Amino acid sequence: MSNFLKVSPIVSFLKRAWNPMAFAQAISLGGLGMCLTLSIVPFKNLGLRDYAFPLAVAVYVYWRNGVLNQQELGAEDGSQENDVEDRKCPRLGGRSVEYVNGPSPPPFSSGTQVNPVWNVLFVFSTTCKHSRSNFSGFVSAAQNFVGGGCSFVALTRDGKENAEKFVDSVTSGGRAKVRGIEKISVAVDIGGDVIGKLQRQFKIDTVPHCYVVKNGVVEWDGHPSSLESTLALMVGFWED
């Protein structure tokens, strides 16, 4: 049986906030601040206020170059929530969507506030280089968060034949092979209505792009690079 471990928001924040480059910069400039302090105040006369200066420099440098920079990058890649009134997700079944790999997800109506249905959409193009490079990350996220009412769907409007070729290319082996693809479903937006509506709603016309849907309502949309850390905060568990 799968074990679902709660992810502390504090732990998730610390994981996202960790930035080795910013840490190195903070240590370097903090050390420089300490050297400047020692050049003015003899070591034996140092007090708490004297230590506070280089420490404050280090903390500020790390915060500015690490945490705030990641937040700004998130805004640039679309990982911040858009101000959209209608956040309802189009239906992911029926005649408009055909699944070529994996099962169709449970209907939105089967979810409740206590036991919500989470659908994670990866809108992509089978011919897009960036879509291909981010596809493995999407599958990796599925391996960590699938289950417990959470399903993952990669959705394209490139046609069934191209979608099937894409699935074959990432499952047949070689350098392009993606492990764990059985954890997700690959589907074709036959008329382009689902993707088209989402792109109009959220003013996004580029791929790849992800949507996290809870009980039929889009709770978050953004670049796939921000997906896993977002799920850690929103869904709050992973599967061992």
Domain ranges of the chain: 9-76, 97-234
Least confident of 14-18, 118-122, 167-171: 14-18
Q: What is the pLDDT of residue 4?
A: 41
Question: Measured between alpha carbons, how far is 153 from 135 in angstroms, rounded to an integer?
Answer: 11
Going by CATH, does the domain composed of 97-234 fall within 3.40.30.10? yes
CA distances from 92 to 106, 109, 186, 221, 222 (A): 9, 12, 12, 17, 19
pLDDT on residue 78: 44
pLDDT at 60: 78
> Nearest-CA neighbor of 119 among 130, 111, 129?
111
Q: Which of 21-30, 79-88, 99-108, 200-209 has the highest mean pLDDT?
A: 200-209
Instruction: Reply yes or no on whether the pLDDT at 220 is more than 90.
Output: yes
| 75-97: average pLDDT | 69
What average pLDDT does the structure give for the chain?
A: 79
Chain segment 180-215, per-residue pLDDT in tens = 888 899 999 999 999 999 999 999 888 999 999 998
pLDDT digits over 23-79, tens only?
777 788 777 877 877 788 777 777 777 778 778 877 877 766 655 444 444 444 444
The set of residues, in sequence order, having a beta carbon less than 8 Å from that of 14 and lying 6+ positions away, is: none
Please say whether the beta carbons of 219 and 186 come within 8 A: no
pLDDT category of residue 81 using cuts at 50, 70 and 90 = very low
pLDDT, tens digit (0-9, with 9 covering 90-100), for 119-169: 999 999 999 989 998 999 999 989 888 866 689 999 999 999 999 999 999
Q: What's the mean pLDDT in 94-101? A: 89
pLDDT band for position 1 (cuts 50, 70, 90): very low
As a whole number of angstroms, the distance between CA 147 and CA 240 comes to 11
pLDDT-derived band of residue 14, with 50, 70 and 90 as boundaries?
low
pTM here is 0.64
pLDDT value of residue 48: 77
pLDDT reported for residue 167: 92
Query: 175 pLDDT band (50/70/90 cuts)?
Result: low
Kindly state the tokens that stand for 39: 């050049």
